[in-house]
Amino acid sequence: MSEFPTTARVVIIGGGAVGVSSLYHLAMAGWTDCVLLEKNELTAGSTWHAAGNCPNFSASWAVMNMQRYSLEMYRGLADKVDYPMNYHVTGALRLAHSKTRMQEFERVASMARYQGLEMQMLTPKEMQDYYPFMETHDLAGGLWDELDGDIDPAQLTQAMAKGARELGGQIHRFTPATGVSREGNEWIVHTEKGDIRCEFVVNCGGYYARRIGEWFRPFGGRDVPVTVMSHQYFLTEPVAEIEAWSKENGRKLPMIRDVDSSYYLRQDKYGLNLGPYERNCKAHWISDDDPMPEDFSFQLYPDDLDRLEWYIEDAMERVPLLGTSGVGRVINGPIPYAPDGLPLIGPMPGVPNAFEAHAFTFGIVQAGGAGKVLAEWITEGETEWDMWAVDPRRYTGCADESFSRAKALETYGHEYAMHFPHHEWPAGRNKVLSPLHSRLEGAGAQFGAYNGWERANWFAKDGDDTSEAATETWERDGPWQQRVEEECAAVRDGCGVLAISGFSRMRVTGPGARDYVDSLTASKLPSPGRVGLAYFADSRGRIVTEMSVTVVSETEVNLITAAFAQWHDAELLWRQAPEGITVEDVTAESECLLVTGPKAREILAPLTEGHDLSGKWLTCSLEGTVAGKPCRLFRVSFAGELGWEIHCPIADAPAIWDAVTAAGAQPFGMYALNALRIEKGYRSWKGDLSSDYSLLEAGLNRFVDLTKEDFPGRAALLAEQQRGVAKQAVGLRLDDCPQDAPYMSLVWDGDRLVGETTSSAYGHRVGGLLAIAMIETGAAETGTTLEVEIFGKRVAAVVSDMPFWDPKNERIRA
């Protein structure tokens, strides 16, 4: 046993598969002075009772990347570290009961193909060829992934532990961390065996992550948005027919996932393992009469099979052999759930040099990729793939305990649900309501949640179907479509008004505030009296974020960014701030109303005092009133028409709304704005603007000032400029299709894959389906005919210049 360390570069708290993978990947990156602390034995938490299923399938591009990496790693891990593992690559079938589910499978298979994975669409008859014991008469079809399977979680963890130790990483079992403190720039992790000083600390606490997170509250931390759910599966006694089939074929049966019924079914030895995700699910350790124990290592909850009765009966109808053998063992253990069911991997919000990798609902299949991602965050400050889907900063102050619990229950009960483009999940809503909410509601608003803020997506009229069921479709033509067309027409021909509640707002003040912000961005900051877009890059020149900027003076800069980016972008500013610079989040102080359309000036003129409405595009007026209320006017419009953003104290928004609507401005929603902005080629954050692309690939050259002496990514951008970009952003005009092109739809030039779409919508002003896409430079010439794969069907597309609408910007400059 090695001597207990007093210093380390990184201390990882938690010895499950994810914590050990993180240590292993840090060691492979050359960071060998790292320590892992585990309160009991390795795997004592969720890892030990995990089913160990290993799918590539995910509807998230980032999560699929992570899982694909894991499975590639696992297939060679035993030989690499010389540790035997039971890893069965059996293949798996996903069953579809409807055309709608088949559409989802087509989309995921398309994404998988881009990542080098082959998933095949199957007919019911073809599925029976893979699994002869399954009834398929009521199925629409299915999806086959030959690389799916299952692995022994304990063996996987021990194999990674062996690899980490051999590279110099230290693992200390039966050594619970008891707290943290901070001196200067160092963390001190406390244990009963002594303290460890370190540069970085990582919360890999699994279902104890929320409790560990409390230790960081004094240092800027928050409530960790994790709820512990009870997941139950059972193993049957051996089944003679399965044993005979396995011996005859020399392998196990493939896994089945009946995602519409919500369970997985796989062979375990010669029996079966059934694991449902039931709607009547249960959270644990959330009340005084069910407190979280100090130690739950290698323990389970009492059996509760009554919750699973419907799922067991459904599975027995699907595979009658399931009903021929008794229950051998029931596993009912704790699994942590974030509100959306995806893990939290990355910087710990608000806390310097602290990271998280926890809340894994599928921790075994994601452990390898999670370790890679976390190690990159720590050693390089950035990741190979854009990982916003799992970034802890995607949840901000609205994700309190009640929200997290409500969403976890909803997500668990809909684990295999399809995430339709116009569907809003009902749990955890109305966290932040603007004073305009009742007015929007009275006008027929159908709301969506944007970082907890409720915004109008579209405005319904009497007789419109506003049920949740109506939104459960991939089709564009829903009850909203006619209303969105009408809203776009109002903005095109008259004047519309949109409440954009929850814009994230940062105020940077102090001596040299302007120079400080300027040093962070690749863009040239606007002069006082102007508003401009600023783009921020990582060391490789890839897009980190976009903010609109107004420079008040050399000592004050105001920045506005996306609602979802609140904590992400605030950290970009405060983490590097020198002494004397203050970064203040002022999001809750202001409301924004966008008044836009050719009649916007006519609407605003009688209501406005002190503001000059003849100012040019991209000017800002900081003092004046609208409807007698003090506000700032920015002459910008994400809709691409003449217009102004009115930024006002939040309490004054109702008076301004009443005045502009009484004067003739028609309310419109976020769906219409999305269509309008795509017609202008305006980009959205974490869709078109992600760290999967560089600033130059995204076509943001006009916002990049390479004459500046230094900023993050400058050297990489200079090199890229010299050699030329490999891909570039283009517009696509598509033949009419019933669906918009989903994110990461493949773009083909004949049989050659040349790129992917990043956003898409029907452009009502131009009368056609549009997309923004990233295309290989050789196929990006205007007029080139390509095809976009949308739910398994190829749709003709033509490369077009952007903007599609008002290419000379005459309307926005009017």
* Residue-level pLDDT at 334: 97
* Residue-level pLDDT at 718: 98
Report the percent of the chain where pLDDT is more than 90: 99
* Residue-level pLDDT at 558: 98
Show the tokens assigned to 153: 């979680």
Q: What is the pLDDT of residues 501-519, one digit of tens each?
A: 999 999 999 999 999 999 9
* Residue-level pLDDT at 8: 98
Q: What is the pLDDT of residues 594-648, one digit of tens each?
A: 999 999 999 999 999 999 999 999 999 999 999 999 999 999 999 999 999 999 9
Q: What is the pLDDT of residues 646-659, one digit of tens each?
A: 999 999 999 999 99
What is the arithmetic mean of pLDDT over 237-243? 97
User: For residues 18 and 20, what is the distance between their CA atoms, to the nearest angstrom?
Assistant: 5
CA-closest candidate to residue 613, choices 644, 641, 591, 640: 644
What is the arithmetic mean of pLDDT over 776-790? 98
> Contact, 335 vs 231, CB < 8 A?
yes
| 1, pLDDT greater than 50 | no
Q: What is the pLDDT of residues 273-332, one digit of tens each?
A: 999 999 999 999 999 999 999 999 999 999 999 999 999 999 999 999 999 999 999 999
* Residue-level pLDDT at 2: 63
Q: What is the pLDDT of residues 183-218, one digit of tens each?
A: 999 999 999 999 999 999 999 999 999 999 999 999
Q: What is the pLDDT of residues 508-548, one digit of tens each?
A: 999 999 999 999 999 999 999 999 999 999 999 999 999 99
Show the tokens assigned to 696: 């130059």
Q: CB-based contacts of 33: which residues, under 8 Å, 6+ apart?
A: 7, 8, 9, 10, 168
What is the arithmetic mean of pLDDT over 392-409? 97
> Contact, 811 vs 641, CB < 8 A?
yes
CA-closest candidate to residue 664, choices 577, 597, 584: 597
| 25, pLDDT greater than 50 | yes
Show the tokens assigned to 336: 């942590």
Q: What is the pLDDT of residues 108-128, one digit of tens each?
A: 999 999 999 999 999 999 999
Q: What is the pLDDT of residues 417-432, one digit of tens each?
A: 999 999 999 999 999 9
Q: What are the strands, taking DSSP E only, across 421-523?
A: 445-450, 453-459, 496-499, 504-509
Q: pLDDT band for position 149 (50/70/90)?
A: very high
> Contact, 710 vs 519, CB < 8 A?
yes
| Mean per-residue pLDDT over the chain, rounded | 97
User: For residues 644 and 597, what is the distance between their CA atoms, to the nearest angstrom?
Assistant: 9
What is the arithmetic mean of pLDDT over 668-673? 98
- pTM for the whole thing? 0.96
> Contact, 460 vs 440, CB < 8 A?
no
* Residue-level pLDDT at 800: 97
| 60, pLDDT greater than 80 | yes
User: For residues 471 and 396, what is the distance between their CA atoms, to the nearest angstrom?
Assistant: 27
Q: For 650-760, where are the alpha helices, taking DSSP H only? A: 653-662, 670-679, 714-723
